[in-house]
C-alpha cells in the first residue's frame, strides 16, 4: 500500500485543522451555505449536485470533488453519505471535515489515476436531522418526515427485484436514481450508535451467504481498523475486537442501502458506525475526527487492488458502456460489474490469478487470465470485436505467422499496423495485440492446446485470418 501521499495529506490536514478551532453541528442554513460556498470557492475541483428534495422541501446535496485532470483517463468513483438516520450526527461532521481537507489538498493527487473522484453527502435525511426546525439539531429523529426508517426502505435483495419493502420514500428514490446514474465503484455510509466496520450482506449471516468479495471486504476493514489513531485501542471495538463485521453476523436487516447498493447498483458499500453516541458532544468532535481521519483517507487505497481499465470496440475504437465484467469461478450474487458511460471498469480483488470475461450483446466475448497484486491494481484495457464486421481481403497486405504449430506463443509480422486477435473455436478472444512491422510476439502460454484463429483488423476491416494449432 502506497503511504507516501497519506503522510503528505495528514501533514496538510493537520495544518488545516489547527487553523480551525470551533466544532459544532450546523444549522440547516449553515450547512447548505457551507456546501454552496465550498463549491464556488473551489470551482476547479468541485461540483455541487442536488440529489433530490425531501418531503419538507430540503435539499439532498452532494459535493463532487475531483483531482484536477491532467489526462482524460476516467477514475474510480467513491460515494460517502452520513446521517440517513437523521439523529446520527457524528458522521455528518466527519464528512464535512473530510471535505475541508480534500478541497485544499486535491492537487496532490492529480497524477494518481487510481485516486477516486469523491462524492460526499453529509446529511442524507435533513428532515430527520432538523425535524424540530432548521436551527435545532437537539431534537433530531432517526426517521424521515413520514416516520420511515430510510435504511429499511430499499428494494430487498431476497426478492431479486420485487419490492417487499414499504412505500419507497422520496429520499430513497432520489438516492437510488443518483447512484444508478453515477455508477459508483465504492460507497461508504456513516452511521452511529456503535463503532464497527460493517460490510455486505445485511440480509444474510455469513453462514447463509457471503459476498464474493468477502475476503477483500475483511482485508479493507482490518486495514481501516489498523489505521485508526487511538493509542488506547478502544475505538471501533464495540462489536468485534478487530473492528470488522459482516452485516448479518451483527444483526440481520432487510431493505438496507448497503445491500441495495451492492446488489442492485453493482457497487461495493460499507457501513461505518463511527461513534457509540448518536451525536457525540460538540467538544469531542475534533477528538473523534483525529481518531478516524487517517483510516478514512486510507480507504482511498481500496482501489489499488484487482484490475481496472477501459473497454473499446475493437473496430471503431469507441468506448463501450454496459460491458459485463465477470470473474470466472468467483463472482456470484450480482458481484459482476459493468463498464460505465466512459467505458471504464474497476474490479477490486485480492492478489491472485483470475480469469475475467468481458461480454456485451453484439460482440464476441473476450476472456483474459491475468495476475494482480495488492496495492498496485493492474491496468487491463480490452477490445471487443463486433460480430458484424465486413470482411474484405486486401492484396497488398502481407502477414506471416510463425511457428505453426506453436507451443508457447506466435510471432506475427505484418507490413501494416493492425490489431491482431486470437480467437478460440467459440469465437472467444484469448489474446490480442497491436502489431506493426516486424515480429510481434503474442504469448499463448496460458491457453489450452487446440485450434485457434488469428485475425488482423486494420481501419475497421478484417485484413487477414488464419487458423493455427497450439500444442
Residue ranges in contact with Zn ion by CB under 5 A? 85, 88, 191
Q: Residue with C-alpha cell 460556498?
A: 37
For Zn ion, which is the closer residue by CB, 90 or 429?
A: 90
For Zn ion, which is the closer residue by CB, 86 or 306?
A: 86
3-state secondary structure of 78: strand
For Zn ion, which is the closer residue by CB, 88 or 239?
A: 88
Give every CB contact of residue 348 below 8 A, 6+ residues apart in sequence.
185, 186, 213, 216, 268, 302, 303, 305, 306, 377
For Zn ion, which is the closer residue by CB, 144 or 414?
A: 144
What is the grid cell recorded at 345? 471498469
For Zn ion, which is the closer residue by CB, 143 or 264?
A: 143
At its nearest, how many Å lie between Zn ion and the CB of residue 142?
A: 7
At its nearest, how many Å lie between Zn ion and the CB of residue 198?
A: 10
Question: In the complex, which residue's CB is closest to Zn ion?
Answer: 191
Query: DSSP labels for 22-56?
Result: ---PPPHHHHHHHHHHHHHHTTTTEEEEEEEE-TT
421 forms beta bridges with 432, 455
For Zn ion, which is the closer residue by CB, 152 or 290?
A: 152
At its nearest, how many Å lie between Zn ion and the CB of residue 170?
A: 19
Q: Which helix (H) or strand (E) holds 294?
A: helix 285-298
What is the grid cell recorded at 204? 444474510
At its nearest, how many Å lie between Zn ion and the CB of residue 193?
A: 6
**Torsion of the alpha carbons at 63, 68, 74 and 76, rounded to the nearest 10:** -50
At its nearest, how many Å lie between Zn ion and the CB of residue 125?
A: 10
At its nearest, how many Å lie between Zn ion and the CB of residue 106?
A: 29
Task: Assess contact for 150 and 84: CB atoms under 8 A.
Answer: yes
At its nearest, how many Å lie between Zn ion and the CB of residue 56?
A: 20
307 forms beta bridges with 347, 378
For Zn ion, which is the closer residue by CB, 196 or 456?
A: 196
For Zn ion, which is the closer residue by CB, 85 or 97?
A: 85
| Greatest distance between any 2 Cα atoms in the chain | 81
At its nearest, how many Å lie between Zn ion and the CB of residue 186?
A: 19
At its nearest, how many Å lie between Zn ion and the CB of residue 148?
A: 13
Q: Is 322 left (phi over 0), alpha (psi -120 to 50) or beta?
A: left
C-beta atoms surrounding 41 within 10 Å = 10
At its nearest, how many Å lie between Zn ion and the CB of residue 271?
A: 8
Give every CB contact of residue 315 below 8 A, 6+ residues apart in sequence.
385, 386, 389, 457, 460
Choose among 126, 119, 122: nearest CA to 63: 119
- Identify the sign of the CA torsion 224, 229, 232, 236: negative
Choose among 289, 365, 284, 373: nearest CA to 323: 365
For Zn ion, which is the closer residue by CB, 88 or 269?
A: 88
What is the grid cell recorded at 217? 471486504
For Zn ion, which is the closer residue by CB, 120 or 190?
A: 190
Between helix 28-41 and helix 90-105 the angle, nearest 10°, is 20
At its nearest, how many Å lie between Zn ion and the CB of residue 222?
A: 23
For Zn ion, which is the closer residue by CB, 9 or 82?
A: 82
Amino acid at each position: 500500500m502506497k503511504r507516501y501521499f497519506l503522510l503528505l495529506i495528514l501533514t496538510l490536514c493537520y495544518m488545516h485543522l489547527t487553523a480551525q478551532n470551533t466544532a459544532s453541528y450546523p444549522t440547516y442554513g449553515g450547512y447548505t451555505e457551507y456546501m454552496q460556498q465550498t463549491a464556488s470557492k473551489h470551482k476547479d475541483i468541485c461540483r455541487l449536485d442536488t440529489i433530490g428534495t425531501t418531503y419538507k422541501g430540503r435539499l439532498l446535496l452532494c459535493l463532487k470533488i475531483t483531482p484536477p485532470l491532467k489526462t482524460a483517463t476516467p477514475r474510480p468513483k467513491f460515494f460517502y453519505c452520513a446521517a440517513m438516520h437523521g439523529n446520527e450526527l457524528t458522521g455528518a461532521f466527519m464528512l464535512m471535515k473530510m471535505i475541508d481537507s480534500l478541497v485544499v489538498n486535491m492537487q496532490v493527487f492529480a497524477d494518481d489515476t487510481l485516486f477516486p473522484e469523491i462524492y460526499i453527502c453529509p446529511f442524507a435525511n435533513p428532515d430527520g436531522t432538523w425535524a424540530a426546525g432548521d436551527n435545532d439539531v437537539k431534537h433530531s429523529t432517526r426517521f424521515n418526515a413520514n416516520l420511515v426508517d430510510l435504511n429499511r426502505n430499499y428494494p430487498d435483495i431476497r426478492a431479486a427485484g420485487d419490492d417487499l419493502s414499504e412505500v419507497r420514500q422520496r429520499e430513497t428514490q432520489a438516492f437510488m436514481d443518483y447512484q444508478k446514474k453515477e455508477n459508483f465503484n465504492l460507497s461508504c455510509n456513516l452511521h452511529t450508535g456503535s463503532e464497527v466496520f460493517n460490510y455486505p450482506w445485511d440480509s444474510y449471516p455469513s453462514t447463509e451467504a457471503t459476498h464474493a468479495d468477502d475476503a477483500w471486504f475483511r482485508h479493507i476493514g482490518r486495514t481501516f481498523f489498523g489505521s485508526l489513531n487511538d493509542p488506547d485501542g478502544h475505538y471501533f471495538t464495540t462489536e468485534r475486537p478487530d473492528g470488522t463485521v459482516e452485516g448479518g453476523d451483527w444483526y440481520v436487516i432487510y431493505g438496507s442501502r448497503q445491500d441495495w447498493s451492492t446488489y442492485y447498483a453493482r457497487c461495493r458499500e460499507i457501513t461505518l458506525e463511527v461513534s457509540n453516541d448518536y451525536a457525540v458532544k460538540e467538544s469531542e468532535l475534533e477528538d473523534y475526527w483525529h481518531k478516524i481521519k487517517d483510516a478514512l483517507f486510507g480507504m482511498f487505497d481500496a482501489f489499488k487492488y484487482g484490475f481496472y481499465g477501459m473497454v473499446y470496440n475493437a473496430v471503431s475504437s469507441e468506448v463501450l458502456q454496459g460491458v459485463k465484467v465477470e470473474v470466472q469461478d468467483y463472482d456470484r450474487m450480482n458481484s459482476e460489474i459493468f463498464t460505465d458511460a466512459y467505458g471504464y471498469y474497476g474490479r477490486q480483488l485480492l492478489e491472485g490469478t483470475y480469469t475475467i470475461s468481458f461480454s456485451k450483446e453484439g460482440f464476441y466475448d473476450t476472456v483474459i487470465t491475468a495476475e494482480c497484486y495488492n496495492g498496485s491494481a493492474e491496468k487491463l484495457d480490452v477490445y471487443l470485436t463486433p460480430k458484424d464486421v465486413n470482411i474484405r481481403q486486401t492484396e497488398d497486405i502481407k502477414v506471416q505467422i510463425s511457428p505453426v504449430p506453436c507451443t508457447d506463443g506466435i510471432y506475427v509480422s505484418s507490413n501494416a499496423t493492425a490489431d491482431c486477435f486470437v480467437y478460440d473455436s467459440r469465437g472467444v478472444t484469448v489474446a490480442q495485440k497491436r502489431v506493426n512491422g516486424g515480429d510481434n510476439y503474442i504469448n499463448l502460454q496460458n491457453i489450452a492446446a487446440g485450434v485457434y484463429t488469428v485475425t488482423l483488423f486494420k481501419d475497421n476491416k478484417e485484413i487477414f485470418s488464419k487458423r493455427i494449432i497450439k500444442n
